[in-house]
Chains A and B, each alone.
Chain A
Amino acid sequence: MNRKRYKQLRIAVALFVSVIVSLAVTNHSYLLSLIGVLTGMVFMALVRSKAQIKVDEREATIQEKAARMTYAIFAPTIGIGTFILLIPSYGGLSVFANGEFAYLESLGMVFAYLTLFLIAIYAISYHFFNRKFGGGGNEE
């Protein structure tokens, strides 16, 4: 199986999964969506192992840069979002006093944990790769 065929199959699986998930959402069947997604994942894993797709170094460089840019944009955005959502409820503004916008505080808390989770994953993976590629102590 060549790269082109692999890409075609990947698009077909993505279409299949999106159709199943949309059907599941319209029918309020969460089990169906779960089954659809899991089937798609298993099928993709099988296709990938059969195709023996290698990621070449240019693609890896592109992925690294894209991941770095995603982190650089997403982390500050979500951090500032958290700040904006949490400040009014702790700032004692009268409009928030009777709990009308309580959901904003909850959303802010979710964002805050998400930000921390993102930073934690980055720090852990940075530490891991730093050690893997020879950093992290005992350099003389």
Chain B
Amino acid sequence: MDEDKIDKIIEEHRTDKSELIPILQDVQAEYNWLPQDTLRYIAKRLQVPLTDVFGIATFYKSFSLKPRGKHLVRVCLGTACHVRGGPRILETAERILGIKTGETTEDYKFTLESVNCLGCCALGPVMVVDNEYYGKLPPTKVEKVLHKYGYTSLSSGKGGET
């Protein structure tokens, strides 16, 4: 953990404890996850009880307390995508990457998550990789999309438990 980096983020938010959530978002953007020592440090600097920081970090789906892969793969499971086969895309991605939803591949290249509606409902099923959206995605194209981000059949397999 780089204390200076975190100090900078906290100061950008005026060391204001009501900005705890944006601070956590910025720290996660920096490290790609929220390591335990960063949370302890933030609690100390902001003078917020550690239980509160932990409570917030575990309440929201976008925060990860485990290291995540280089590429974040998210499959939408909103109603419109569900009706158009969203779960099948998720199953396909699980099978290709060899991990379950919420897990990271052993080589830390990919993390697979599900999202509850991305707002592209007319284009279901939708998959997002690192903020690039893929709409009207047939299950057969999932592997091709993952190839773009460096997927090879050697990438699959579970990893990412701390």
Do A and B associate with each other?
A: no
